[in-house]
Homo-oligomer: A and B are copies of this chain.
Amino acid sequence: MNNLKPVTQLRPRLMSMFAIENLPDFTPGMDLSAEIIAALDAQGESLQAFDILVIAHKAVSKCEGAVYQLEEIEPSSEAIKLAQAVNKDPRKVEVILRQSRRIVRHIKRPNQDEGIIIAEHKLGFICANAAVDESNADKPGQLITLPDDPDQSAQRLCSALETHYQVELGMVISDTFGRPWRMGQTNVAIGVANVPAIKSLFGEQDAWGRPLKVTAPAFADELAAASGLLMDKEAKCPVMVFRGLSWTRQHSHISQLIRPKQEDLFR
């Protein structure tokens, strides 16, 4: 027992999370890091060493122009066929297929107006509609996809903020996913910079000295899920700042959060 005390005291046991207020509506070409700095300035805030930012991907996607206009999409015959099966707009299904490696499940139940497509996104995420979303698009007929390379987006944004504030920072880009088995949605990580995707506790011991064989907290997903506590969709607060957490800077990749297909019992 006594030898645990110093460890406990080294670890911070208090964190705070706040929203960056009054960010603008984002449009293609906007400089997201400059907008974050301006909004923090207006809020009388700055970033401190080891702050972590969680950013809803839509802000990133819009600035990067990861946006499709429905009227510009020519659906393939595959998209038309799948669209009929689930009663979705074939142009939307075309974008879903372009964002996907493969369709994992699709179903339309008799009581559903529109069915469900669960896809494996080309980055490896398994989620509804390959993360293609109409919600919070700037206008009807607009579809938002994930950024092309969310890790690179996170790294770029994080570096710009680190340069401005001259402190080490971490970043997670998030999306809102449903889950098998459980109702409701949570935010999950779809891109990371500097923070561990997973905090591996392999080799460490539990409080009673036994090895913690399989404990590997999905740190980036914990951050993303926590961001949802203040990130109500209707309130336009896509950026949360976490302060007070203990973490070790590292080169991490969102692919570390993707379960390899051969180890997955549920796809």
Measured CB to CB, the residues of A under 8 A from B are 4, 7-8, 11-19, 21, 105, 107, 116, 118, 125-126, 134-140, 176, 179-188, 197-198, 201, 204-208, 210, 212, 215-219, 221-223, 225-226, 228-230, 232-237, 242, 245, 256-259, 264-267
Q: Which residues of B contact A181 (CB under 8 A)?
A: 125-126, 258-259, 264, 266-267
Q: Which residue of B lies closest to A261 (CB)?
A: B181
Partner of A206 from the list B19, B125, B136, B267 (CB cut-off 8 Å) is B136
Contact A228 B234 (CB under 8 A): no
Q: Which residue of B lies closest to A209 (CB)?
A: B234
Bound Cα distance from A47 to B245, whole angstroms: 22
Partner of A11 from the list B16, B183, B219, B235 (CB cut-off 8 Å) is B235
Task: Please judge, given known A-B contacts A14-B17, A19-B14, whether A236 and B4 are in contact too, CB under 8 Å.
Answer: yes
Contact A183 B235 (CB under 8 A): no
Q: Which residues of B contact A204 (CB under 8 A)?
A: 234
Q: Could you pull out 11 A-B pairs where Cβ atoms are within 8 angstroms?
A: A13-B21, A14-B16, A14-B19, A116-B265, A126-B180, A135-B215, A181-B266, A182-B257, A186-B218, A222-B229, A266-B267
Contact A237 B182 (CB under 8 A): no
Contact B266 A185 (CB under 8 A): no
Bound Cα distance from A188 to B205, whole angstroms: 22
Contact A183 B15 (CB under 8 A): no
Chain B nearest CB from A241 CB (Å) reads 10
Q: Which residues of B contact A265 (CB under 8 A)?
A: 105, 107, 116, 118, 180
Task: Please judge, given known A-B contacts A212-B233, A222-B229, A234-B4, whether A258 and B16 are in contact too, CB under 8 Å.
Answer: no
Q: Which residues of B contact A125 (CB under 8 A)?
A: 181
Chain B nearest CB from A48 CB (Å) reads 15
Q: Which residues of B contact A21 (CB under 8 A)?
A: 8, 13
Contact A221 B212 (CB under 8 A): no
Q: Which of A14, A182, A206 is the most central at the interface, judged by chain B CB atoms within 10 Å of its CB?
A: A182
Q: Which of A19, A126, A207 is the most central at the interface, judged by chain B CB atoms within 10 Å of its CB?
A: A207
